Structure 1
Amino acid sequence: MAIEKIELELINDNPYQSRQTYHKQDIDELAASIKIHGLLQVPLARRKDGNVELAVGHLRKRAFLKLAKEGPGAWPKMPLDIRDFTDQEMSLCALEENLKRWDITPMEMARAVDSYLTNFTNETEADIATQLHTTQGNISNMRRVLRLPQQVLEKIDQGRINFSMGRELLVFQELTDEK
């Protein structure tokens, strides 16, 4: 464990981060808190190709970027806990961190779990279920939804169809596939 202050332009997002949306209000509130109280939780990261990749702490990075825009030299560096993470550990960090978030969508989580199991074939659905404190059935159902037609997946992403309805639609799709 080595905490270092790293220049913001050298900090890259975790390539396994499934979360794509960061709300401006969340960034603004966190930036205000950091400005008053400092950074209370130092994000984890690893060195990669001359830069640094966040394992967790993507919202904190965006808050630091906002603070850096306040003036020259205002917040040029961010403290990071630099560790030796494998790709698989980076992916698992992102999954575990996102599972704790209330605002991650079920589709983002399903894609993250599917990506993890596709990239790290030494892991099974049961393995990842244990690591994420859920059941193999939940993991399997998450991944099954991704087999729906693209236009249905888009409706789920848009919130026009909820994730549970998507799972129900799978039953009909599987019935028509059997014919």
Structure 2
Amino acid sequence: MAATKKKGLGRGLGQIGGGINAMIPQNPDIKNKEKDKENVSRETLINIDTIEPNKEQPREYFDEEGIIELSKSIKQYGIIQPLLLKKNGKIYNIIAGERRWRAAKLAGLKEVPAIIKDYTEEQTLAVALIENIQREDLNPIEEARAYKKLIEEFSLTQEELSNKVSKSRASITNTLRLLKLDERVQEMLVEGQISSGHARSLISIKDKEVQYMLALDVINKQLSVRDVEFLVKDLKNKEEKDADKKNNDPKN
């Protein structure tokens, strides 16, 4: 599993769309500092016990099996890409790399390589969200929430967001639509009980309870995406016929 994740490790944050600096608002105080203080970008070893997760971390679910696999890789090869941290008093908050940090702790490392950045809270949020989107570490619901937060926090249009995260506007629109699903259905998607295809087929059902019942059918009857599409189509046809019948009823 660790091998499948190496694809993401080869890409820096600067590779995202117009680059991370095009996304995050610049801190004028940092801008005016001397170069060596401005970047604070040299890799250094940090005591793992002084590092804490980012409260704004968009990932809500960490695959334990994947972290175990990554910890084995770290034991053998070490951490290939340093964590990105922000100093906060005597501790360091993770901007990017929580999965590596968790795996390193599991591997028994006392210190981890890190780069310290003097980001503002706003910059930290942007980097944390975009880094996860870039690496495709998020499940569809986490990704949708990350898009929503980026749009709201930075007043972006979907077109602007598309350029920043190197995703098509259609992809972003379709992902955001997943947030219209019943929360129970969203949880099924997060847990991998239903696929994104199943979930998208259910979005057009306005009744959340019906959405949920159909999602249960997907799990219990092992329905394919095509099966769900047919069921949804039949249901909508029935609703239209019932509506026509009601409109044509002389009693109304």
Work out the CA distance in 1 between the residues paired with 2:45 and 2:137. 29
Question: 1:95, 1:112 within 8 Å by CA — same for their partners in 2?
Answer: yes
**What is the identity, as a one-letter code, of the residue corresponding to 1:44?**
L
Q: Comparing both structures, which one devotes a greater share of its residues to helix?
A: 2
Q: Tell me, yes or no, if structure 1 residue 96 matches structure 2 residue 130.
A: yes
Task: State the partner residue of 1:72.
Answer: none
Question: 2:67, 2:102 within 8 Å by CA — same for their partners in 1?
Answer: yes
Work out the CA distance in 2 between the residues paired with 1:53 and 1:152. 33
CA RMSD, 1 decimal: 2.7
User: SS at 2:67's partner residue?
Assistant: helix
Task: State the partner residue of 1:144.
Answer: 177
Greater C-alpha Rg: 2
- Measured after TM superposition, the shift of residue 109 of structure 1 is 0.8
Residue 120 of structure 2, aligned match among 62, 74, 86: 86
**Residue ranges of structure 1 left out of the alignment (5+ in a row):** 69-74
Question: What TM-score, normalized to structure 2?
Answer: 0.58
Question: What TM-score, normalized to structure 1?
Answer: 0.78
Q: Spell out structure 1 runs of 4+ moving beyond 4 A.
A: none
Q: What are the within-5 Å matches in structure 2 for residues 118-137 of structure 1?
A: 118=152, 120-137=153-170
Q: Tell me, yes or no, if structure 1 residue 159 matches structure 2 residue 199.
A: no
Count of equivalent residues: 170
Work out the CA distance in 2 between the residues paired with 1:100 and 1:121. 18
**What is the identity, as a one-letter code, of the residue corresponding to 1:58?**
E
- The percentage of aligned residue pairs carrying the same residue is 26
**Residue ranges of structure 2 left out of the alignment (5+ in a row):** 1-40, 208-235, 244-252
The change in CA–CA distance for 1:88 and 1:165 in structure 2 (over 3 A counts) is farther
Work out the CA distance in 2 between the residues paired with 1:23 and 1:162. 17
Task: State the partner residue of 2:80.
Answer: 40
- Measured after TM superposition, the shift of residue 113 of structure 1 is 1.5
Work out the CA distance in 2 between the residues paired with 1:35 and 1:139. 37
User: SS at 2:102's partner residue?
Assistant: helix
